[in-house]
Amino acid sequence: MTADTWTELLSQVGPAHHQAFAATDGDDPDWPTWYAAWLLERLRGHSPPIEEPELVRLLEEAAQAHKASDGNEDWPAFYARYLSERLDS
């Protein structure tokens, strides 16, 4: 899957998550699990298949890497690059 496809999906999952957790203003300590489930629902049929625990782990790693970066890159683009680099290798 391309980084552009990941960026598009990640740009959608953030607002969807925030809406789902509107009562807590988007606060969800287990957000990677929710994101992974949402993303996998939209990735059905893509190859190679990604298992939920792997995607959760990669989302957590991407969040940590983004936090440690200079922060100049939007999170969807940063996460997309991070995911595509690790999943395409």
pLDDT value, residue 66: 95
Please report, to the nearest 10 degrees, the dihedral formed by the alpha carbons of residues 79, 82, 85, 87 taken in order.
Answer: -70
Please tell me the distance from the alpha carbon of residue 45 to that of residue 23, in angstroms, as a whole number: 33
Please report, to the nearest 10 degrees, the dihedral formed by the alpha carbons of residues 43, 38, 85, 6 taken in order.
Answer: 70
> Containing domain of residue 62, as a range?
3-87
pLDDT digits (tens, 9 = 90+) for 20-75: 888 777 677 899 999 999 999 998 877 677 899 999 999 999 999 999 998 788 99
Rounded to two decimals, the pTM is 0.87
